[in-house]
């Protein structure tokens, strides 16, 4: 059986089924209860699970820090941060406590916790509401970083994240929350963490992306003259190096697309790994198509900041024509 869902409905179904499966799963955050979340991802869950769904104070450090205590007590917290840009208020909790509880306690305790947050631009939001800081979280040892790009993957990756024994930062691309629908399996559906997938096969060039940029990339490559292989990383950390290297050894060319700032973004890490494991197969320098090294602009200029069809096609042409 499958439902035709968009991304935000897939989030809701995944949470619903995990709350029903395990009464130790606790969903909480700002406005997730009575209002059902700012994007309605948790709509109706408070009525179904009054002992497992809570509204929290507007205090991100407290939201994430509370999860450390809940996890230590044996529960499975799934807090929502209303927008990813505000995780910064609780970043010290993530880095100093959540990520290293297992290491600090010499394995006596783990922190089974999934921090959900809408991220990225494209919805004309205010300052601090459109951040793409996935590379920053990937630099914190002990945390997995997951970014879905389709409704089916959203449910499958979220379910796998909640069941993972260690902490996960689950970034939901709000730009595509309601952009399209696809069949999503009902019932027990998981997608393994740490495994990329090939969204489209090709022979001339590999294009790597994730989240909302994966959706934009697939639209762009439809117009490419070259045969493009498109890889969706799905998990930023741990990064599936094997799938990326195997593809680039076949095509000999590569473009990495992300909307986060260019400097020290995840594209740089992907390129470093290709240099280590596929350098002799490369027929052109790997190209980056990214956001700019600027604070994310206000809505009047955000479309100029986020990589679009023309910039992605330009990157593909550059490596193919090298």
| Catalytic residue positions, numbered | 129
For the chain, list the strands marked E by DSSP: 2-5, 25-29, 53-55, 76-80, 114-119, 144-146, 168-173, 182-185, 197-200, 205-209, 228-232, 235-237, 254-257, 287-289
Measured CA to CA, the distance from residue 46 to residue 185 in angstroms comes to 23
The CA dihedral of 29, 26, 173, 111, to the nearest 10 degrees, is 100
The CA dihedral of 165, 85, 314, 153, to the nearest 10 degrees, is 30
Measured CA to CA, the distance from residue 148 to residue 227 in angstroms comes to 24
Residues 6+ apart with CB under 8 A from 69: none
Tell the burial category of 106 from Cβ atoms under 10 Å away from its Cβ (0-12, 13-18, 19+). Answer: exposed
Query: What is the end-to-end Cα distance of the chain in Å, rounded?
Result: 48
Q: Yes or no: say if 41 and 28 are a contact pair by the CB < 8 Å rule.
A: no
Q: How many CA atoms lie within 13 A of 235 on its CB side?
A: 21
Q: Which two tokens stand for residue 306?
A: 């986020």
In the block, residue with structure tokens 């399996």:
185
Q: Yes or no: say if 67 and 116 are a contact pair by the CB < 8 Å rule.
A: no
């Amino acid at each position: 059986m499958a439902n035709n869902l968009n991304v935000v409905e897939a989030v809701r179904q995944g949470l619903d089924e995990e709350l029903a499966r395990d009464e130790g799963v606790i969903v909480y955050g700002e406005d997730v209860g009575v209002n059902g979340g700012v994007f309605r991802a948790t709509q109706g869950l408070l009525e179904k699970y009054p002992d497992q769904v809570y509204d929290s104070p507007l205090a991100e450090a407290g939201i994430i820090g509370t999860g450390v205590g809940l996890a230590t007590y044996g529960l499975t917290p799934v807090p929502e941060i209303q927008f990813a840009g505000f995780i910064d208020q609780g970043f010290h909790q993530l880095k100093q406590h959540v990520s290293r509880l297992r290491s600090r306690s010499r394995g006596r305790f783990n922190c089974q916790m999934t921090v959900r947050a809408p991220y990225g631009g494209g919805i004309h939001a205010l300052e601090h509401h459109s951040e793409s800081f996935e590379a920053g979280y990937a630099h914190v040892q002990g945390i997995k970083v997951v970014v879905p790009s389709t409704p089916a993957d959203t449910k499958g990756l979220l379910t796998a994240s909640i069941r993972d024994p260690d902490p996960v930062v689950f970034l939901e691309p709000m730009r595509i929350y309601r952009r399209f629908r696809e069949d999503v399996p009902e019932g027990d559906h998981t997608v393994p963490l740490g495994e990329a997938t090939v969204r489209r096969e090709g022979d001339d060039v590999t294009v790597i992306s994730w989240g909302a940029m994966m959706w934009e990339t697939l639209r762009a490559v439809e117009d490419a003259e070259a045969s493009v292989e498109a890889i969706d990383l799905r998990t930023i950390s741990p990064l599936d190096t094997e799938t990326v290297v195997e593809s680039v050894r076949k095509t000999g060319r590569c473009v990495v697309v992300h909307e986060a700032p260019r400097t020290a973004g995840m594209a740089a890490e992907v390129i470093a790994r290709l240099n280590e494991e596929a350098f002799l197969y490369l027929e052109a320098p790997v190209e980056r198509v990214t956001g700019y090294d600027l604070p994310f602009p206000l809505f009047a200029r955000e479309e100029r900041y986020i990589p679009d069809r023309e910039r992605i096609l330009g990157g593909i042409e550059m490596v193919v024509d090298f």
